Structure formats: C-alpha cells, structure tokens
Amino acid sequence: MNDGHASTLISIIIVNYNAGDRLGRCLDHLAAQVFRNFEIIIVDNDSSDNSIALAKERNVEFTLIDAGRNLGFAAANNLAAKSARGRWLAFLNPDAYAEAGWLSAFVAGQRRFPAAEAFGSTQIDDTAPDRLDGAGDVCSAFGIAYRGYFDWHRDKRPADSAVFAACAAAAFYRRDIFEGLGGFDERFFCYGEDVDLGYRLLLSGGETVQLHDAIVRHEGSGVTGRNSDFSVYHGHRNRIWLYYKNTPTTLYRMTMPLRLLGDLLLAGKAAMSGSWSAYRRAIKDGYVQLAQFRDDRKKWSAMKSSAFVARRMLWSPIALLRRQGKTIPIEPRHVTEKSRAK
C-alpha cells in the first residue's frame, strides 16, 4: 500500500491466533486509512479456524508469515519485525479497528515530537464507543500494570502526553530502537510484554508519547477472553516478572509491602470471580521463576535511579482502583533532556 512511495514508513504487524472475522474487519479498517505509506505483515500462530482464509477474501494486500506453531504474542511480533521494511513498527491486535485517520495522526504526532521513540494510541471500547479501553499503560508501585483510563468516558481521554508505556494493542516503535532494546521478551509469551518493553525504553533514556487523536476501537482480549484462565495466569505471572526485571533495587525493596498488599487484594478478586486456580499458579510461577531474570535485572534496573522511576509510577491506591492514567505534559517538538536524566 505504498502508492508509489520510494520507501516504507510504517510496517503494521498483526499477530493472529484464531481471531475469526475480527482479522478481516481489522484489515478493512487499514484499507480505509488516509495515510498510505505502509505495509501489513500478518503472523499466524498456527490458527485452527478460518481467520486467514477470510482475510484473504478481503481486497487488502498483506504479507503472511506462517509461524507453524503458537509462538505467543511476543515471539510472533519479533519474527515479523525481522522482515519489516518500515522505519516504524506499528503493532496492532486483530481485534483493534483503526479509525481512518489513525496513521495520519501518528505521522503528525511524530512530527510534533521528533525525539520520541514510541507512541501509544487512544483505545475506544468497541462494544461501548462512549468509553475508553485505555490511553497509555501505567505501572503502579503496587506491582500492578494496567491500561490507564480504562472504562472512563471517552471525553476524558488525555491530551498528547508522556506515559510509562504504550499498549501494544495499537502502538508504534521506531524499528532501530525496538531492535536495540531486544524486542519483546519472548519469555512473557503474551500479556505484560508491552509494559516490559516500555519500561526498558524508559530506563534507557527514551520516551513514549500517548497520542490523543490516534484512535482505534478495541474489543480488549476479544480472542483470549478478558477473565479466562489463560489471561489471568499470564497477566499476573508476567506482572511479577516485569517489575522484578526492571525496577531499581532501592525502589523494589521499598515497594515490597505495597506489592504484597496488591497480591492479596487480587487474590480476593480472583477467588470471587472463579479464577483462583489460575491466579494461584500465576503467583507461584511468578515468584519461583524470578531467577531467570537476574542477568536482565543487573542490566536494566541499574540504568536509572529509584527516584527517577518512582516519579513515573502511580502511587495512589485510589487512583489505582479507579484505573486512572499517569500522564506527564510534554511540549511539541521537544522531549526534554530533563526527562532523559538520571
């Protein structure tokens, strides 16, 4: 879909696993984009449904990579990134439906904030268009990462601002930065790998900007199920991993009581929702398997001071319960040197 452009600006990567007709709908929305200098790469994680066949019926050009097995979200995105031609990588879920101006808003945002290395999209709940599905990922001192402003009214979406991380349901990364960070951590399989990547970007001195006008409609775990045993297990296991892997030592120790409180409160929620078994396995594996991240922790957690990271985290328990976002005002055409300082 380059329409005569000499080089590809954006490579849109979609990881498909039994997405059904959602994938076709996602492609229809990409075909309607105003901005045209992009390519589409679909990685199929050994789907057993007819989602790829339905996608091929659309009048949309894409490159298909057959993974041959279910690699998970992280590894499949990494696989596609290796063959991407774009200067920017756009990660898009098959249940995320981009408004026609999505790519145009990103291009305009990149021009306003040329020093930013990643951008997040405003996600609207596809089943309730007056509600937000998320506007920037948050990392809280309770060891809980989440999509900020989830279920807030659409009118409350924030202005362009710096955030902790971009939700990879619809996120943009400079390809060279993505490669330099090592891509998504494939040990996560899926869930939390986007916050982990954003955390590493922040620690390395980079900045993620959440864009007010780059809008997608998102079902939110439309394929895996928001409260399925799969999502509960991977979500809670991975939040333990990413916090340990990246958080500076003083801050990690200081927040231990808050994290244990968070574990207990979430245990009660899991018990009431019928997902106690999956949650218990997640907590066990999350803590028992931390040793695999010791070398990563030595590298990443030492890159920034505890004070720097603490300022970027959310600390209020009330704000956490309300799923409030954490945004930092940022001036156009300027990612400050102060934001990069230790």
Give the pLDDT score at 342.
Answer: 40
- pLDDT, tens digit (0-9, with 9 covering 90-100), for 143-188: 999 999 999 999 999 999 999 999 999 999 999 999 999 999 999 9
Q: Give how far Cα 301 sits from Cα of 202, 223, 234, 287, 307, Å.
A: 11, 33, 22, 18, 12
Give, in degrees to the nearest 5, the angle at Cα 174 between 197 and 160.
Answer: 80
Question: Per-residue pLDDT tens for 176-232?
Answer: 999 999 999 999 999 999 999 999 999 999 999 999 999 999 997 655 556 799 999
Does residue 97 carry a pLDDT above 70? yes
- Structural domain boundaries, residue 29: 10-218
How far is the C-alpha of 108 from the C-alpha of 99, rounded, in Å? 15
Question: For residue 170, is it within any domain?
Answer: yes
Instruction: Look at residue 80 and tell me if it is in a domain.
Output: yes
Which residues, at least 6 apart from 92, have a Cβ–Cβ distance to it below 8 Å?
A: 12, 13, 14, 26, 30, 98, 169, 170, 216
| 39 assigned to some structural domain | yes
Residue 4 in this model has a pLDDT that exceeds 60: no
Residue 227 is predicted with a pLDDT of: 77
Region 107-135: mean pLDDT is 97
CATH of the domain at 166: 3.90.550.10
Q: Identify which of 157, 196, 160 has the alpha carbon closest to the alpha carbon of residue 178.
A: 196
Question: Does residue 194 fall inside a structural domain?
Answer: yes
Whether residue 313 is contained in a domain is answered as no
Say yes or no to pLDDT of 331 above 80: yes
pLDDT bin (cut points 50, 70, 90) of residue 5 is: very low
Residue 280 placed within a domain: no
With respect to residue 150, please indicate whether it lies within any of the assigned structural domains.
yes
Report yes or no on 310 lying in a domain.
no
User: In this predicted model, what pLDDT tens digit does every residue of 227-277 receive, in sequence order?
Assistant: 799 999 999 999 999 999 999 999 999 999 999 999 999 999 999 999 999
Q: Tell me the two tokens of residue 307.
A: 């004070």
Give the integer Cα–Cα distance in Å for 53 and 60.
13
Question: What does the chain come to in residues?
Answer: 342
Q: Domain tally for the chain?
A: 1
Distance CA 164, CA 271 (A): 30
Average pLDDT score over residue span 97-125: 98
pLDDT, position 225: 53
Cβ atoms of 1 and 29 within 8 Å: the answer is: no
Band of residue 337 on the pLDDT scale cut at 50, 70, 90: very low
Please state, in angstroms and rounded to a whole number, the distance separating the CA atoms of residues 238 and 4.
43
The proportion of the chain whose per-residue pLDDT surpasses 90, expressed as a percent, equals: 92
pTM (2 d.p.): 0.94
Residue pLDDT, tens place only, 27-62: 999 999 999 999 999 999 999 999 999 999 999 999
For the residues 88-92, what does the mean pLDDT come to?
Answer: 98
HEC letters along 30-94: HHCCCCCCEEEEEEECCCCCCHHHHHHCCCCCCEEEECCCCCCHHHHHHHHHHHCCCCEEEEECC
Query: Mean pLDDT, the chain, as a whole number?
Result: 94
